[in-house]
Amino acid sequence: MSGWELLGLSAEEWTAVQLSLRVATVATLASFPFGLAVAYVLARGTHPGLVILNGVVHLPLVLPPVVTGYLLLLTFGKHGTLGPFLAEHLGLVFSFRWTGAALASAVMAFPLMVRAMRLSIEAVDRKLEVAAGTLGAPPLAVFVTITLPLIVPGILAGLILSFAKSMGEFGATITFVSNIPGETQTLPTAIYTLMQVPDGETGAMRLVLVSIGISMAALVVSEWLARRASGRASLS
Amino acid sequence: MSGWELLGLSAEEWTAVQLSLRVATVATLASFPFGLAVAYVLARGTHPGLVILNGVVHLPLVLPPVVTGYLLLLTFGKHGTLGPFLAEHLGLVFSFRWTGAALASAVMAFPLMVRAMRLSIEAVDRKLEVAAGTLGAPPLAVFVTITLPLIVPGILAGLILSFAKSMGEFGATITFVSNIPGETQTLPTAIYTLMQVPDGETGAMRLVLVSIGISMAALVVSEWLARRASGRASLS
Amino acid sequence: MTLQVDVTSRAGDFALSAKFETTGGLTALFGPSGSGKTTLMELIGGIRRPAQGHVSLDGQTLSNSNSGRFLKPHQRRIGWVFQETRLFPHMTGRQNLTYGQWFVRKRDRREDLDRVVALLGIEHLLDRKPATYSGGERSRVAIGRALIASPRLLLMDEPLAALDDARKAEILPYIERLRDEGSVEILYVTHSLPEVVRLANQLVLMSNGKLLASGETTDLLSRFDLAPALGEGEAGAVIEAVISAQDEAFQLSQLTARAGQLFVPTLDLPIGTPVRLRIKARDVMIALDRPIGLSALNSLVGKIQSIEPGSAANVNIVLDCQGDRLLANLTAKSAEMLGLRPGTPVYAIIKSVSFDRLGLGMKP
Amino acid sequence: MTLQVDVTSRAGDFALSAKFETTGGLTALFGPSGSGKTTLMELIGGIRRPAQGHVSLDGQTLSNSNSGRFLKPHQRRIGWVFQETRLFPHMTGRQNLTYGQWFVRKRDRREDLDRVVALLGIEHLLDRKPATYSGGERSRVAIGRALIASPRLLLMDEPLAALDDARKAEILPYIERLRDEGSVEILYVTHSLPEVVRLANQLVLMSNGKLLASGETTDLLSRFDLAPALGEGEAGAVIEAVISAQDEAFQLSQLTARAGQLFVPTLDLPIGTPVRLRIKARDVMIALDRPIGLSALNSLVGKIQSIEPGSAANVNIVLDCQGDRLLANLTAKSAEMLGLRPGTPVYAIIKSVSFDRLGLGMKP
Amino acid sequence: RISDARADDKPLVIFAAASLKNALDEIAGDWVASNHTKPVISYAASGPLAKQIEAGAPADIFVSADLDWMDYVQKKSLILERSRLTLLGNKLVLIAPRTSSATLSLVPGANLAALLGEGRLAIGEPSSVPAGKYGKHALEKLGLWDQVQGKLAMADSVRSALLLIGRGEAAAGIVYQTDAAADANVRIVATFPDDSHPPIVYPVAVVAASTNQQAQPFLDFLRTPQARTAFERQGFNVIAP
Ligand SMILES: Nc1ncnc2c1ncn2[C@@H]1O[C@H](COP(=O)(O)OP(=O)(O)OP(=O)(O)O)[C@@H](O)[C@H]1O
Ligand SMILES: Nc1ncnc2c1ncn2[C@@H]1O[C@H](COP(=O)(O)OP(=O)(O)OP(=O)(O)O)[C@@H](O)[C@H]1O
Ligand SMILES: [Mg+2]
Ligand SMILES: [Mg+2]
């Protein structure tokens, strides 16, 4: 008897759980470098054009998820603006694929990730970076050895927010890549489906509990890591 | 000719714009003290039970918005767990009211607000708080005069995230208080409705632009305030 | 006012234990870097909780590991000048300085902003935030901030370390006045022995987390056995005297000690005032006959009590000058050339200008 | 190595302008708190951009406002010991110390971790993060970190201010060695004149953002007109001598200067080594006849060149001792009693033990 | 991945209105039992599904809960017009919370306002939710629309409307009979006359881009008695012959 049977999940639901985990993990990790770069530029840059970038980053928060999903469909869909290009040159196909669900999640969570990291970067004492420079470290080395370790709390916060959001993202995902079991049916879309039929609530609530369980586990791990990191950094 | 006619909005849409502004503002401001308190407790508390609080705070992120809306209904509805109590003792009625929309927005944005503020609180140099204590300041005064001014960036980030999220929140709101023009029909619900009608995209996009405009304005103001605050706090 | 301390504490590998009692005035905390001075202050100020023991001030128990009593820092009225200043970065100089005033009752306020600002020379910092202050400016504002809060015990952690001598010379008399007014007790960490001599009526010597010695400054400074702890060339005797005459023409004060008459640079104090002066062993010369035609104004009659080998080429000589104990530091060669032995009657010669202004002051 | 600086800068109300040139070795930057020492270093190190002017090191232009050239700090190989230490809080002592090594070419590495650690006494900090260091421990690690990065110019901003004398005495010879090896030039901020005397071959005096004077330490320290800038009781002459004999029995070194023979506490250097020694004006006594039966070992024959009123009760006397210029600080009363006038032949009496170990060293 | 699977055992991809989940899941089970590959069914609202088909979704069959969206895709030639078939029908009912004892007969001029009192009438958003569209039509036809227009609580789906009534938030509401029958928290007050609204139908069709040979057979399977039983068990009436 497998774990999912113990939880009273159907095979399809178990697939949705696995898929959600994969989508959330990939969405979080794949958007991390971009999130970090954007956070850094927003925190440190002085170019007036950054106000636009900042606005764009916040869009997924401001727009109703269906709109974001629809825009994703128009951009990354099979016949979208970038879709064919990405498919041809990078082999990246998003339309109606789990990768698309990951993209939708990543986009929706992006403002949260960026803001958390940006706050941390802004809190870094730049005198320490200057000190590293006087010891001969070029800017990239300063970033990797000084800035990055000092913003671990912000990075972890950004990652966990992104992960949690991915576990709950539904509107953009279902609009962009539909709700195809085994491919794009994540936990939240499965929950949605169950909520749409008579007597579906019980099933939905079971999945909700699974989703909460996963997210709480991720949360606890992130808090533990954060505590470890800050414990390493200071004590007094 | 009024402003909304210039924008090509119908009277009903204009109402939705105003309502959205009100809902986002009230949701943001009313949840601020709670958000700040929770952020403080999570940042500074050591009680093991806080892991539960932390989990609960993240729930609206993890759960599909319909589920959150559903839970709000069970809790704050006319016949919900807390609804009757609040109505009787505090005169707070949420069901089918704009206040309910504000509540839904506030709840959905709560994890974002808390996290931003928490990150800032964790970055505060506690030695400064200790110094204030040695100058005779009791804990509350230390918080107000030292901690609070030092976390202004986090507070502003939390507020703007909450505001932006409120401008985009739709799922929990419509489930909780449905879609009543003039009362609970915010911009995102109006947009959603239009998106569900064949060929409704054009109308939806017009509202989307209004929504983006408002949010960007809020964003620019918040960035300006943050710059001012940090400019005040340090320069070198 | 009295501070009673008997604490032990441990942080990582570092263990501290200290037991001492002060009787008011200014107590210097002296010891090498890393010996636990700041830690000890933290235990007293309530920033760190002692593992064992108790701290009490003026009879009020501030912490006691047996009863579990532990007052928070803001309940202690113990002011701090922190080693790393800890100025509030979001406040102007003025706001930093006056911060403590909000939390003192009117009648407990002793210091006035304008006076403190003038004394410390920080007018130009009042409207600026600390981020642009220089190192010494930060210390000065930190000192001002603690003073204006009018605490009953003031913990000063190397407050003058970042300042030039001229600035120090301006601030020291003020600390003396604080000490002598009696309304605040001061615990003062410093690495400068002249400051100790000038300011401290009591001295606590720390080494490696342990209390090496504690007691009257005069006593401890006269102990050659503590010389290694006090630093090379800093040993000396502290004697007490009263001002017996003022020579206005030459701007000298004449002091009368048991040892005899001494001329020192003018002290602006009334005749009859008891003073304390430190005579560094290295500033004392020994002569077999009363010298003539020598510029040194002071020659005291005495007898050699003991001769002990000092560091390297030197010998430490203890003189008894009619009851006052004087120390002299000579090269062994000189001692030999002069044929000095215990019991030899000698003259102790001291230049008036060698009295260190930093180390010369009213009897605390 | 030479550093050429000619810069102006402005921050808020504070304007700085400085033009000087060094010829290698160690240059002390001396001036009251807030006079612009740290700012000047920032302009040299590339942390702050000069409004006008240029900085060049060894012929390489580091910044030039005309050409717009401005090297980033990491392109300058200019090391820093920051006044506020700026240790990396997330790294252990060891990681802090070795940080700079990653960015130096192997052949440019001069310092070895173990040696620096032993010298600074920071073994116990290697595996701990800076958060728990004491104030002095932070400075020591900061010094070590800068040294191990092997820069070609080292900017040290009050590096020893937080240390006790014993620790200072251990570190000073090491800085002397650095200075004399010639592979690194040092710019050294301090408020301690003994450190200046001991370490600096050149001195830059700052006051209120302006350069008051710059030049050879020996020259500047002998100028009574700079005494107010140098601090009370610190004026003195610096004379040059060679070691002419070693008295092992009494552990004294005999020096020969133009003024004559001098005995000083033993210097562990070969006979014939040129040395520099500072004789503080306050340590010099004047006698009309050669004294007999006096413990002071040194008496130099000279002639009074001038007598000038000093501070308060004192007079400053310039002596010419066979070409060496000596300063003496007496009370006006003594000068009168002895009837001193310009031209009077006198003896200058100096105790051997009064030579300050911190201020006595090889000629830089 | 769907597109990579070999053509012969490539599962059918069905885009279906979410309200059909219970019935279609059961029928899909039967279809597998009769030796077919298990179909993949993506349940969502009809609107997004239609737009996704437009955007090139790999769907073989579209089951819409709404005539308009089926017309939308047909107009864009996204479905095989000849395969289109009106499969199911449903009824529209007026419901109230279980505890309510209200009665009303749905005839022109009935006093619906009185039944609502201070409460609201929960209904699907009339412009986007099919049940709402039918409800509005029926109320207009019966001349009751003006009575309730200001008292509507418009939900984003018929399920949300049902929830509002079941929780007692709304005093009454209009939903499909299928939903009302399955929910113990609500009570059917009256059924709307069939002629008060356009027929409530669920059209199905094969997507034009589909290459799956099983598409038409599955559509045929939906008309078997076995499937009919499944639909009827959920309260639908099967219209297709
Ligand atoms: N958590 C810890 N683990 C190990 N050692 C610690 C810890 N915290 C403090 N110490 C050590 O305790 C010693 C005393 O520190 P303290 O700050 O009291 O010294 P100090 O006398 O004030 O020195 P300084 O004059 O340099 O400021 C230091 O050696 C420090 O490294
Ligand atoms: N932005 C600014 N606005 C006004 N004054 C400034 C600004 N930045 C620096 N200053 C002033 O410049 C002066 C020089 O500062 P600097 O740090 O160079 O002094 P310093 O000589 O190193 O003093 P210390 O010995 O106290 O460290 C200080 O008085 C400081 O207050
Ligand atoms: Mg300390
Ligand atoms: Mg400085």
| Tens digits of residue pLDDT in E171-181 | 999 999 888 88
Amino acid occupying residue E17: A
**In the numeric block, which tokens belong to residue D36?**
């612009």
Comparing CA positions, the residue from B135, D7, E49, E60 lying closest to residue A193 is E49
Contact D134 C33 (CB under 8 A): yes
Residues B139-190 have pLDDT tens digits of 999 999 999 999 999 999 999 999 999 988 888 998 898 888 888 888 988 8
Report whether pLDDT(E4) > 60. no
- Encode A67-103 in three state secondary structure: HHHHHHHHHHCCCCCCHHHHHHHCCCCCCCCHHHHHH
Give the pLDDT confidence score for residue C275 in this predicted structure: 82
- pLDDT score, position D155: 96
Q: What is the pLDDT of residue A2?
A: 56
Mean pLDDT of chain B: 88
Instruction: Check: CB of residue D63 under 8 Å from CB of residue D173.
Output: no
D39 lines ligand 2 (CB under 6 A): yes
Identify the nearest ligand to the CA of C139 by its number.
2
Q: Which ligand is nearest to the CA of D210?
A: 2
Ligand in nearest proximity to the CA of C41: 1
Give the tokens for residue D134: 């004491």
Give the pLDDT of residue A4. 60
User: How far does B211 lie from chain E, in Å, by closest CA?
Assistant: 20
Residue entry with tokens 């708190």: D33
Question: Could you tell me where in chain D the CATH 3.40.50.300 domains are found?
Answer: 3-220
Indicate which CATH number applies to the domain containing B127: 1.10.3720.10
Size of interface A-E (CB pairs under 8 A): 82
The confidence score (pLDDT) of residue A231 equals 63
Copy the structure tokens of residue E77.
Answer: 């030639």
Q: Is D294 in the pocket of ligand 2 (CB under 6 A)?
A: no
Q: Which of C39, C205, C206 to mutate to test ligand 1, by most ligand atoms within 8 A of the CB atom? A: C39
Interface of A with D in 100-159 (CB under 8 A): 127-128, 130-139, 141-142, 145-146, 149-150
If pLDDT is split at 50, 70 and 90, which confidence band does E2 have? very low
| H or E segment to which residue A58 belongs | helix A50-62
Nearest-by-CA chain D residue for C135 = D83
Give tens-digit pLDDT for C153-175. Answer: 999 999 999 998 888 888 888 88
Taking only the tens place, the pLDDT of each residue in E56-98 is 888 999 999 888 889 999 999 999 989 898 888 888 999 999 9
The ligand 2 atom nearest the CA atom of D206? 21
Partner C contacted by D248 (CB < 8 A) = no
CA dist A112 and A123 (Å) reads 17
β-pairing verdict for C324-331 and C314-321: antiparallel
Predicted confidence at residue C35, as pLDDT, reads 94
Please, where in chain C does CATH 2.40.50.100 lie? Answer: 237-362
In contact, D186 and D10? CB cutoff 8 Å: no
Q: If you measure CA to CA, which chain A residue comes closest to E49?
A: A178
Number of domains in chain B: 1
Report the CATH number of the C237-362 domain.
2.40.50.100
Q: What is the pLDDT of residue C114?
A: 93
Residues of chain A whose pLDDT is less than 70?
Answer: 1-7, 231-236
Longest dimension (CA), chain A: 68
Cβ atoms of residues D287 and D269 within 8 Å = no
Q: Which helix (H) or strand (E) holds C292?
A: none
Cross-chain Cβ contact B137/C145 below 8 Å: no
* Each residue's pLDDT tens digit, C327-348: 888 888 888 888 899 999 999 9
Q: How confident is the model at residue B128 (pLDDT cuts 50, 70, 90)?
A: very high
Question: Cα separation of E196 and E106, whole Å?
Answer: 10
Reported as a pLDDT band with limits 50, 70 and 90, residue C360 is low
Asked whether the beta carbons of residue C149 and residue B132 sit closer than 8 angstroms, the reply is no
pLDDT tens per residue, range C178-221: 888 888 999 999 998 878 877 888 999 999 999 999 998 878 87
Q: Which residues of E touch A97 (CB under 8 A)?
A: 1
**Tell me: the pLDDT tens digits for C21-62?**
998 889 999 999 999 999 999 999 999 999 999 999 998 999
Residue A213 contacts residue A207 (beta carbons within 8 Å): no
- For the CA of D35, the closest atom of ligand 2 is 21
CA distance C107 to chain D (A): 34
Q: Which residues surround ligand 3, an ion (CB under 5 A)?
A: C 38, 83; D 134-135
Mean pLDDT of chain E: 86
Q: What is the pTM of this model?
A: 0.89
- Asked whether the predicted pLDDT for residue E140 surpasses 70, the reply is yes
> What type of residue is D97?
L
Each residue's pLDDT tens digit, E196-210:
888 889 999 999 988
- What is the predicted pLDDT for the residue at C182? 81
Beta strands in E32-118 (DSSP E): 40-44, 61-63, 85-90, 92-97
Residue A124 half-sphere exposure toward CB, CA atoms < 13 A: 29
Give the Å distance between the CA of C65 and the centre of ligand 2.
Answer: 45
CB of E57 within 8 Å of a chain A CB? The answer is yes
pLDDT score, position E5:
40
Which of A53, A35, A41, A44 lies closest to A156 in space, CA to CA?
Answer: A35
Q: Is D249 exposed, middle or buried (0-12, 13-18, 19+ CB in 10 A)?
A: exposed
Segment-wise mean pLDDT, segments of 10 residues, chain D, 364 residues? 92 94 92 94 94 93 94 93 94 95 87 90 94 93 94 94 87 87 90 84 92 87 72 72 88 89 85 83 87 82 88 83 88 87 91 67 58
Of the residues D41, D43, D88, the best mutation for testing chain A's interface (the one with the most A CB atoms within 10 Å of its CB) is: D88
The residue type found at D160 is: L
Spatial separation of the C-alpha atoms in residues C57 and C24, rounded to whole Å: 10
Chain C stretch 58-87, residues whose beta carbon is closer than 8 A to a beta carbon of chain D: 83-84
Which of D251, D287, D313 shows the shortest C-beta gap to C295? D287
pLDDT at E7: 43
Q: Which of B22, B60, B19, B23 is nearest to B38 (CA)?
A: B60
Question: With 70 as the cut, is the pLDDT of residue C69 above it?
Answer: yes
For the stretch C228-277, pLDDT in tens is: 777 656 677 878 889 999 988 888 888 999 988 888 888 888 898 888 78
Give me ligand 3 centre to Cα C37, in Å.
6
Q: Does domain D3-220 have CATH number 3.90.1150.10?
A: no
Q: Ligand 2: which of C122, C124, C134 to mutate, judged by most atoms within 8 Å of the beta carbon?
A: C134
Q: Which two tokens stand for residue C79?
A: 């002011």
C-alpha angle E75-E78-E81 in degrees, rounded to nearest 5? 70
Q: Is C342 exposed, middle or buried (0-12, 13-18, 19+ CB in 10 A)?
A: exposed
- Residue-level pLDDT at B4: 59
By residue range, what is the domain housing residue A26?
3-235
Rounded CA gap, C344 and C290, in Å? 14
